Amino acid sequence: MNKRHNAILAASLLISALPSFCQNASAQSPTNAQKKPNVLFIAIDDLRPELGCYGKDYIKSPNIDALASNGIVFTRAYCQQAVCSPSRSSLLTGMRPDTTKVWDLVTHFRKALPDAQTLPQLFKNNGYFTQGMGKIFHGSLNDEPSWSVPWVVPSAPKYALAQSEAKNTANVEGEPDSPPTAKEGKKGKKKGKKSAGGDNEEGGGAGRGMVYECADVPDNTYQDGKVADLAIQTLKELSKKDQPFFLAVGFIKPHLPWVSPKKYWDIYDEQSIKLAPNPFYPKDAPDYAIRKYDGEIYQYLGMSPKGTPVPDELAHKLKHAYFASVSYTDAQVGRVMAELKALGLDKNTVVILWGDHGWKLGEHGAWGKHSNVENDANAPLIISAPGMKSAGSKTDSLVEFVDIYPTLADLAGLPLPATLEGTSFKPLLINISLPWKTAAFNQYPRNEIMGYSMRTDRYRFTVWCNKDDHTKIDSLELYDHKTDPQENTNIAKDPANAELVKTLMDQYNKGWQGNKPPTTSTSPQS
């Protein structure tokens, strides 16, 4: 990004947009000028920052790319913990895992924080109509105080093809006690033209069904198509209300299993899909840093046996399945965005799209999340708002998912809870060249130890220490992104880096509080 372009962007945004986003509406009537901006909050499960708008043109994501062309792409946005519930709990409360006490998939943040005010709850308490659908909070860990009406997950079959299903397991996406109601799913079993999996029927499956499925069925056979249908209908209803809204739309793919209609598989040539360039464990990394040949994916049929590497032929198929799932969800995003525009709501709606964490597709010999490495901690984040006349920009400023809460509240002019542990990056939306955070932080537990990871502009530095006594350090990791962007070699033990390790340890010990932006923002934490 050259300086001239940054200057133009900054000037145009300063003149046109923030903080109200209402200049377009003000030309129509004084009443409209006072309207609060709506928020369309799009969450996508297990989505890597591997999209066309991230420079990965082999991924076909035209609809998310179109959103990016009207907004700003954050190339270095980091979740707080690379697994669904901890990441989402932190984002939606604006607090980090050690505060929410959510490090697993079963703990609700209100156990530790009964009086927390979530992001949608803040909007609700300030006159917004808030509604959630699909996967927003993790699984069944919904939060009733967040919504004006009950949260909804459309019931849909997990698989369209009978041969994909696991024996003695309900073929339902989402909660196991949700009854399957989709007629399309029954039709899909008749219409499916391709088999659901490869020849590895004796793989690591443990009752979850096939790891992927390619079926010639309509988009709304699966849950995400139904979520898009519901979002479209809801937008029509909201357009008739004289009340600002916060609409949270959660898509589950590309979460496992990788199922999507055949037309999205047909976009890709499987053999041309490149495999991970580093299918090996990082040199000199502690043996617990990454779950190699292990994890959720090994619980599905069609996967290679647990504890063994994935053969290249299967790796091609798995990446094909993941890419098809991404393109499928991209199409659903496009349907929702088209309706937003058709209703004229785009003129006064802030749109944010985020993935809850990254995912390893064979990097470091692993298939999954559950670690502190860049592939897992770095996740997609795109924001578009009315008044961004020089949109389509990217920033490599370091931002964290705990920053999303104060940012959206800041954009809407809402008061911020003093409990927030992030910083509004609204100033970056005005001027992407501003100096910003000096580090982002994420973490991941391993039994009795916790790995706390710090990402600076150049380095990833991870401290593995006792959960209860952080002075008891078990091991360190250090990766130089200038010379080793794939994080293939841990250089923390190299005597030549002793002074660097000391410097990074000093920075790490300052915590997130000591690495905030030098720029003053409206957040009480900055």
Residues labelled as active-site residues:
84, 138
Report which of 45, 95, 32 is spatially closest to residue 420, judged by C-alpha positions.
95
Q: How many other CB atoms sit within 10 Å of the CB of residue 398?
A: 23
What torsion, rounded to 10 degrees, do the Cα atoms 403, 408, 413, 415 define? -50
Query: Length of the chain, please?
Result: 526
Query: Contact 451/83 with Cβ under 8 angstroms?
Result: no
Query: Contact 379/355 with Cβ under 8 angstroms?
Result: yes
Q: Looking up tokens 């002074």, which residue turns up?
A: 499
Nearest-angstrom CA–CA distance, 77 and 473: 27
Half-sphere exposure for 452 (CA within 13 Å, toward CB): 22
Q: Please confirm whether the linkage preceding 254 is cis (ω < 30° from 0).
A: yes
Query: Contact 253/331 with Cβ under 8 angstroms?
Result: no
Q: Which amino acid does the sequence have at 264?
A: Y
Q: Looking up tokens 């809460």, which residue turns up?
A: 405
End-to-end Cα distance, the chain: 26
Report which of 156, 135, 130 is spatially closest to residue 247, judged by C-alpha positions.
130
Secondary-structure breakdown of the chain: helix, strand, coil percentages, each rounded to the nearest 5: 35, 15, 50
What DSSP element (H or E) covers 215? strand 212-215
With 0-12 CB in 10 A as exposed, 13-18 as middle and 19+ as buried, what is 507? middle
For residue 42 the two structure tokens come to 């799009």
The SS3 of residue 389 is coil
Provide the total of helices (H) and of strands (E) in the chain, helices listed first: 15, 18
Sign of CA dihedral 148, 64, 14, 34: negative
What torsion, rounded to 10 degrees, do the Cα atoms 490, 491, 494, 498 define? -130
Query: Contact 477/462 with Cβ under 8 angstroms?
Result: yes
Q: In what order do the strands lie in the sheet with 378-379?
A: 378-379, 77-78, 399-400
Nearest-angstrom CA–CA distance, 378 and 401: 10
400: Cβ–Cβ under 8 A, 6 or more apart, which residues? 77, 78, 79, 80, 422, 437, 440, 441, 442, 512
Q: Which amino acid does the sequence have at 203?
A: G
